[in-house]
Structure 1
């Protein structure tokens, strides 16, 4: 057994001690946490030190990794105590979410290290983390509910699976982006996400969770295999898709997957020509986390806002968030098609002065690219009309609503070109411009909805 596997197993053993909370309460957990803190602070050599020490710990001759891990466990655990939260408007972190989060991290890490013994590469490591973390989180949440209530209601199991899957995808993404020593950041990030989702999704159905996990994993693997997304980009897309399906619905996912699918194909369209011109996406067109979030962060916020409005955590008409979601993705697809198709044609012009510029110049447009962008926004509008309520009966998008989605996409595409010609490079990067453009598309869609419908 390798040192990395033994160390991950030791951290998993420490993390498993959180199960004393539902079994025996905080009073039993406090001495264990204190003992771990003392050991981490004062054990400087010997077998115990070698078991827990990471490479950086050996240089400093202190178990800082274990110390930070125990402190993060304690800090997140304090949020399960109602008296810590001084405002009655914020519910305490559910104990089952806390336990599930901790076990997800430690057993996800352990399974990741086991997989790395046989298969190299970030894809294998992330797969091991997701599989181990998902199983451990579902088991930990279920055990906690059973220990505290004496039963495990069958209707709560889909919600536990949804939380575990969301946490596993986020954890794998952060592990791929960060360093091993950043377990504390991963723990808090996953814990806070699951805390939010536990409030936004009080009831989850089996079919939604099954569709979300199976469909998104399959599509994520295809995107990675076809090299349209990096491992990090794949994980980001999977997480966004799962949240969209469960919190929004299949209609929402139809718009999201249209952007991902058509956008990926547009990126690969005549890639060699764009590469020769120096205007192709880096990494052979494989989009990473920054690119995905730059185009879809507003859509994600819209899904979360819709869920909050649906459960009356926000006193806002939930339909606003649907149009913000559709408008932002219409912009994202319109802009992607405009830039990827327009890049293969000659004589681009700067949108602010209409002067001819070199291909690839920020803010440059071609009439072919503009037509492609309009076609993308039109497609989004038509799909929105078709799936709401055709696929998703919770909402209705009329032909006028579809026109709003088209308008928002074209407006957002234009904003992207204007920002590219004026502030891109000097003030913000490409991903920042993408975010601002999709935000403008969402604003245009909501404003038009308020004024017209």
Structure 2
């Protein structure tokens, strides 16, 4: 354990070099290259090698893990220090520190527990704190302000970097810190380019609420660790890039959809219609239902920069989410009833047959679409509507949700199975729901 702590501390120290990038300017990559060279050529055995070696390094007799991490830092430093470089120093520092110090936070927590949620929490908390300090350090060197107006944005970027790093880490081998660093740097750069407006109140609400709901989803078994992180990142983006209404709409789907998957789970399992992995949704499942909505959120935030109308993107978001909610409730509730019929022929089929529907499931799906339509179109002092237009806008969202749910059933009956899987069908259905919502907005 002491060796693991020392190793993580070295990675964190290497990551901290990124804070010096503005001062080093064109030489910002030199310290990273020096670390990579020393690790590759100078440490081949002995105590330092045993301390710094990651799984697989001992067989190769090279510190490839540390070398790769340092080279990733060097490459990003070169990219950030070029004349008119597109990669901001803030993104470079946030990504490198989120990964390096996040790793240290996870290692510290592992001395007390092996439970996955505390380990992930240690990674995210330490990574967020380090990324925030790193961004502040960079801005102080470049003369950019660090004040009450900018700190909420820096906190959002730091949290987004750490959460993204934890998510990528959960999807690839833990030794691939170099891949994680590069991906997080470009994600953070993208968020910076969108220039989101982030207030103190939004940060004080969005971060605790998304974190708490993420924990609950993991604790009750409605999401795996990767699925939980995907949901938390998605909800945070909806809150910051969209607004309170977007956040409430998406969280309603995550919460109700997750609970529906656990509802009478043993009975559904006995009937062969239960969600796989004991009802815990992973990253693939979350993204299959949310990717279109998330693309709409990002598009909505980018609309002012691209001089395109933002309203249709709100309808796309709401239509995709209504479809996901309707389809999930239709499947999870409808699967509990006998006498399902194939949507294409209406002949009776066995429960669990792709494309099978029940009237109870269709009714549950309609109720889900109605809820999303209400949340998306409702307006209140603290809840800006996702789809302005009152009852007509809400009706368009409901119709889109029902249409998308029907497309899901049709695709299930016609092509799901050997050709494409359930996650692809879910994605195509949400895409159809988004398209219907935008079309109805255009007609209106």
User: TM tier, shorter chain?
Assistant: over 0.9
**Which residue among 253, 257, 267 is the counterpart of 2:261?**
267
**Alignment partners' CA distance in 1, 2:377 and 2:57:** 58
Query: What secondary structure sits across from 1:396 in the alignment?
Result: coil
**Which residue among 395, 398, 416 is the counterpart of 1:403?**
395
Query: What secondary structure sits across from 2:305 in the alignment?
Result: coil
Question: Considering only aligned residues, what root-mean-square deviation do their CA atoms show, in Å?
Answer: 1.8
**Which residue among 426, 431, 444 is the counterpart of 2:436?**
444
For residues 75 and 358 of structure 1, do their structure 2 counterparts lie closer, same or farther at Cα, with a shift above 3 Å needed? Answer: same
CA-to-aligned-CA distance 1:86-134 (integer Å, 9 cap, x gap): xxxxxx1111221121111100001101101111022121011001001
Q: Equivalences for 1:329-408 in 2 at 5 Å? A: 329-387=321-379, 391-392=383-384, 396-408=388-400
CA-to-aligned-CA distance 1:274-309 (integer Å, 9 cap, x gap): 111111112321211111111111111110000001
Query: What secondary structure sits across from 1:193 in the alignment?
Result: helix
For residues 389 and 294 of structure 1, do their structure 2 counterparts lie closer, same or farther at Cα, with a shift above 3 Å needed? Answer: farther
CA-to-aligned-CA distance 1:167-208 (integer Å, 9 cap, x gap): 111111122222112112211121111101111134321111
Query: What secondary structure sits across from 2:38 in the alignment?
Result: helix
Q: Give the structure 1 partner of residue 190 of structure 2.
A: 196
Contact kept? 2:292, 2:427, Cα under 8 Å: yes
Structure 1 residue 2, shift from structure 2 partner: 2.3
Is 2:419 the counterpart of 1:427? yes
Contact kept? 1:338, 1:373, Cα under 8 Å: yes
**Alignment partners' CA distance in 1, 2:347 and 2:198:** 54
Q: TM-score, normalised by structure 1?
A: 0.94
**Which residue among 179, 184, 196 is the counterpart of 1:185?**
179
Q: Give the structure 2 partner of residue 304 of structure 1.
A: 298
CA-to-aligned-CA distance 1:423-446 (integer Å, 9 cap, x gap): 212222111111110011001101
Structure 1 residue 26, shift from structure 2 partner: 2.7
Query: What secondary structure sits across from 1:209 in the alignment?
Result: helix
Structure 2 gaps, min length 5: none
Contact kept? 2:197, 2:240, Cα under 8 Å: no
Q: Give the structure 2 partner of residue 21 of structure 1.
A: 21
Q: Give the structure 2 partner of residue 243 of structure 1.
A: 237
For residues 110 and 365 of structure 1, do their structure 2 counterparts lie closer, same or farther at Cα, with a shift above 3 Å needed? Answer: same
For residues 374 and 31 of structure 1, do their structure 2 counterparts lie closer, same or farther at Cα, with a shift above 3 Å needed? Answer: closer
Contact kept? 2:326, 2:369, Cα under 8 Å: yes
Structure 1 residue 150, shift from structure 2 partner: 7.4
Contact kept? 1:233, 1:292, Cα under 8 Å: yes
Contact kept? 1:326, 1:442, Cα under 8 Å: yes
**Alignment partners' CA distance in 1, 2:91 and 2:13:** 19
Aligned length: 443
Contact kept? 2:375, 2:385, Cα under 8 Å: no
Structure 1 residue 251, shift from structure 2 partner: 0.6
**Which residue among 318, 321, 340 is the counterpart of 1:326?**
318
**Alignment partners' CA distance in 1, 2:55 and 2:215:** 33
**Alignment partners' CA distance in 1, 2:251 and 2:385:** 19
CA-to-aligned-CA distance 1:134-157 (integer Å, 9 cap, x gap): 100000100111122175233111
**Which residue among 280, 305, 316 is the counterpart of 1:313?**
305
**Alignment partners' CA distance in 1, 2:420 and 2:84:** 39
Q: TM-score, normalised by structure 2?
A: 0.96
**Which residue among 126, 131, 135 is the counterpart of 2:129?**
135
**Alignment partners' CA distance in 2, 1:389 and 1:298:** 28
> Which stretch of the first structure deviates more once superposed, 221-230 or 416-425?
221-230
Contact kept? 2:403, 2:436, Cα under 8 Å: yes
CA-to-aligned-CA distance 1:330-353 (integer Å, 9 cap, x gap): 000000111111101111111122
> Which stretch of the first structure deviates more once superposed, 299-308 or 146-155?
146-155
**Alignment partners' CA distance in 2, 1:80 and 1:343:** 53
**Alignment partners' CA distance in 2, 1:357 and 1:317:** 45
Q: Give the structure 2 partner of residue 40 of structure 1.
A: 39
Is 2:214 the counterpart of 1:220? yes
Structure 1 gaps, min length 5: 86-91
Contact kept? 1:126, 1:176, Cα under 8 Å: no
Query: What secondary structure sits across from 2:378 in the alignment?
Result: helix
Query: What secondary structure sits across from 2:126 in the alignment?
Result: helix
Is 2:108 the counterpart of 1:114? yes
**Alignment partners' CA distance in 2, 1:256 and 1:329:** 7
Query: What secondary structure sits across from 1:179 in the alignment?
Result: coil
Query: What secondary structure sits across from 2:104 in the alignment?
Result: helix
Contact kept? 1:389, 1:397, Cα under 8 Å: no
Contact kept? 2:268, 2:335, Cα under 8 Å: yes
CA-to-aligned-CA distance 1:19-63 (integer Å, 9 cap, x gap): 221233232x34323322322332322333223211211101111
